[in-house]
Structures are given as structure tokens and as C-alpha cells.
A = this chain, B = another copy of it.
Amino acid sequence: MDVIRVDDPADPRLADYTRLRDVNLRRHLEVEHGLFMAEGDKVIRRAATAGYIPRSFLLTERRARALDDVVAGSGAPLYVVDEETAERLVGFDLHRGALAAFHRKPLPAPAEVLEGARSIVVLEDLVDHTNVGAIFRSAAGLGVDAVVLAPRCADPLYRRSVKVSMGSVFTLPHVRLDDWYGGPDALRGAGFHLMALTPGRNSVPLRRAMAELDPGAKVGLMLGSEGDGLSPRWLERADARVHIPMAARDVDSLNVTAAAAVACYELTLRGGQPR
């Protein structure tokens, strides 16, 4: 096992861990170098278990042995730093934390993932990494088979998404569309009945829409961005528009992660009888 003590936060071997809170910097760095970050023992273990290849691990001295089981046999170096070096490097107090950099894998082609899927979630232009991670956790927990991302949807492998998802982003397959305009039609072509979640009028209550589905239907649940919801184009190309009935006069919709949880729950039960 390759344990390396480093004192200089500018050491190039630690470059993967630079300024983790600088979203713009990190987006470029991670995409260009084909890496992502995992944070916390549990999430790091899940990434490794899911078959991602570690590039390196970063721990503070007092927790230097915390990941021995993962580090051993990974072939990747373990960098151990004092707390001050850690903070200057990553930009926050690592304290009892643990970090690892992993290699990304090429995303599967949509057809490969969609063929066996019965229920999918389709995210249009969500910009918030926390929301994307939370939706992965709910979708995975509630039994959705895959997530399809529009070209501009935020990266599920960004550190915040990974963390909030509790590692669900590693196990719930996801694919990215390369064509926004034709995206819904491509999914319909793959056999999916597209249900667009929208607070707008001219939509059917979620439970009724689910109960009226053909039992064997392949369903794609479409969710739009945090502020504006789905684009007119995607709304127009959906097979059905559905809403979660709101009771309060002063609340016009749930936030997108709450709406996603409710809709994935109904999608799993398909509006069915209590079980």
C-alpha cells in the first residue's frame, strides 16, 4: 500500500483535490481530466464497489488508516496530509473527512440502458447539483431503473451530487442525451410513454394518470428545471401532462426534489391498490 505524506498543498500530485468549493474551476478540471470526487468513507466504498477505479485517496493524519480496506489492492496512492495542508488545498476543514478521486467511465449509450428499463426519470435542465443528487437517491430507492439527462442537466458525478445521492449515482444507471430538441421523441421511439410533471393547468392528477396506465407500459417521468419547469418544447412532446394536486393557496408547487420523490413513488406503485 502506497502511503505518501505530503506537506505542500501546491504539490502537483494533489492537483485533483484543488479548491473543491470552486464550482467553475472544478467543472473544467474534472471533465478535462476525466475524474470525479467522492467524499466520506461510505460513499468512497460505494464508488469502489460499483467498479470505479480510484486515482488516489486523501486523508488527514488522524484518520490515515480509515480506508485501508479500499486502498489496499486498489493500486492507487494514499496521500496523508495534516489538517492545515488539507484546508489550504481543498478550501474547507477536512476534519474527520475522507476524499478520493476516481476515474470516470464512459457513459453507456442510451439504447443500452433503455432497452431493459420499465421506469425512467428524465431530467431536463436542472442546474443544482444537490437537487440532482437528491433525485438520484429517491429514484434509486423507489425502484426507478435509469435516469436520462438532457444535454444541459447538471453533472450527477459532481461532488455535491455524489454526496447527497449517498452514492446512488454509482448504481442507478444514467445516460445523457446529445440532442435536446429531439430528446422526447427519441425516448418515445424507444417505447416510453412520457409523463411530464408540471404544475400547469391542462394536466391530470398524478395518481389518476398512473392508475390509467397500461400495466406493462414503459414510463418516462419528465422533470424540468428548478425555476421554470419543463420547456414548452418538452411539454409539447410529452404523451401526458400530470400534476401533484396542491392544497394551499400560497404554494403553487413542491420543490423539484419533493415532486420527484412523490412522482417516483407513484410511478413505482403505478397508482395501484395499497400493498
Closest to A166 in B: B251
With contact pairs A258-B261, A269-B207 given, residues A251 and B137 touching in the complex (Cβ less than 8 Å): yes
Q: How many residues of A are counted as interface, with CB atoms below 8 angstroms from the partner's CB atoms? A: 43
Q: Choose, from A53-61, A75-83, A179-187, A241-249, the stretch at the interface.
A: A241-249
- Interface mask (A197-225 → B, CB under 8 Å = 1, otherwise 0): 00000000101101110000000000000
Contact assessment for A250 and B137 in the assembled complex, using a CB-CB cutoff below 8 Å = no
Partner of A255, one of B137, B212, B265: B137
B contact residues around A113 at 8 Å (CB): none
Contact assessment for A205 and B274 in the assembled complex, using a CB-CB cutoff below 8 Å = yes
A66 contacts the other chain (Cβ, under 8 Å)? no
Report A130-144 residues with CB < 8 Å from chain B CB.
134, 137-138, 140-143
Q: How many copies does the complex hold?
A: 2
Q: Choose, from A11-19, A89-97, A167-175, A229-237, the stretch at the interface.
A: A167-175
Contact assessment for B210 and A248 in the assembled complex, using a CB-CB cutoff below 8 Å = no
A257 contacts the other chain (Cβ, under 8 Å)? yes
Contact assessment for B207 and A254 in the assembled complex, using a CB-CB cutoff below 8 Å = no
Nearest chain B CB to A250 CB, angstrom units: 5
Cα A143 to Cα B268 in complex, Å, equals 23
With contact pairs A262-B261, A262-B265, A265-B265 given, residues A248 and B207 touching in the complex (Cβ less than 8 Å): no
B contact residues around A246 at 8 Å (CB): 141-143
B contact residues around A251 at 8 Å (CB): 137, 140-141, 166, 168
Nearest chain B CB to A99 CB, angstrom units: 21
Nearest chain B CB to A109 CB, angstrom units: 23
Cα A208 to Cα B254 in complex, Å, equals 24
20 pairs, CB–CB < 8 Å, chain A vs chain B:
A134-B258, A140-B247, A140-B251, A141-B247, A141-B251, A142-B244, A166-B251, A167-B250, A168-B248, A168-B251, A171-B250, A208-B274, A212-B274, A245-B275, A254-B261, A258-B261, A261-B261, A262-B262, A262-B265, A265-B265
4 A-B pairs with least C-beta separation: A143-B247, A258-B261, A141-B251, A208-B274
